[in-house]
C-alpha cells in the first residue's frame, strides 16, 4: 500500500510541475530546417533542461525548457506538442543559472531591439544584459 501511495504521489506531482497555464503558452511550429547542420540553434543543449518560469502576476512554475536562439523563443513540450512561452514583460525564465527576460529596448538609432536577454549583472543603479545570436551558414555544395 505504501508503494502504491508513493507511486501515485510521484506521478501526480510530476504532472503538476510539468504544466503551464494556457495563458502563458502558445503552440509553436517545429522548424526542422537545421537538424542536419553542425552545431545547435539552442542555448547550451538541444535537450530540455530543468527550469523555472516566473510569472510576476501569478506564480512560479517548475518545468523543462530550452531556449531557441534562432527563433528567440523559449520552448516547452507537453503531450508531443511544442509550445512557446508567450513573450511579455512580466514573465521571466531561469534555465540552469541563466535568467532570461523579455525586454523592449530601443538602440541609439531608434531601432527596436525586442527579445530575450540574459541578465548578467543587477545592482541598485543598473542592469547589464546579454543578447545571444546564432549565425547560420548554408553548407557549400561539393563539386
Lowest mean pLDDT among 7-21, 34-48, 111-125: 7-21
The grid coordinates of residue 14 equal 510530476
pLDDT at 105: 92
pLDDT band for position 143 (50/70/90)? low
CA torsion through residues 34, 38, 40, 46, sign: positive
Distance of CA 28 to the CA centre of its chain: 12
The grid coordinates of residue 113 equal 531591439
- Rounded to two decimals, what is the model's pTM? 0.78
* Residues 38-50, mean pLDDT to the nearest whole number: 86
Which residues touch 130 (CB under 8 Å, ≥6 apart)?
Answer: 117, 118, 120
20 closest CA partner among 48, 60, 70: 60
Q: Does the pLDDT at position 54 exceed 80?
A: yes
106 or 35, which is more confident? 106
Amino acid at each position: 500500500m505504501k508503494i502504491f501511495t508513493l507511486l501515485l504521489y510521484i506521478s501526480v506531482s510530476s504532472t503538476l510541475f510539468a504544466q503551464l497555464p494556457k495563458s502563458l503558452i502558445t503552440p509553436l511550429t517545429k522548424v526542422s530546417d537545421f537538424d542536419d547542420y553542425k552545431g545547435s540553434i539552442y542555448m547550451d543543449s538541444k535537450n530540455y533542461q530543468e527550469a523555472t518560469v516566473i510569472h510576476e502576476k501569478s506564480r512560479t512554475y517548475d518545468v523543462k525548457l530550452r531556449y531557441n536562439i534562432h527563433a528567440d523563443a523559449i520552448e516547452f513540450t507537453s503531450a508531443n506538442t511544442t509550445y512557446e512561452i508567450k513573450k511579455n514583460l512580466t514573465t521571466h525564465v531561469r534555465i540552469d543559472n541563466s535568467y532570461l527576460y523579455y525586454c523592449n529596448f530601443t538602440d541609439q538609432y531608434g531601432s527596436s531591439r525586442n527579445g530575450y536577454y540574459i541578465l548578467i549583472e543587477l545592482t541598485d543603479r543598473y542592469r547589464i544584459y546579454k543578447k545571444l545570436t546564432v549565425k547560420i551558414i548554408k553548407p557549400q555544395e561539393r563539386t
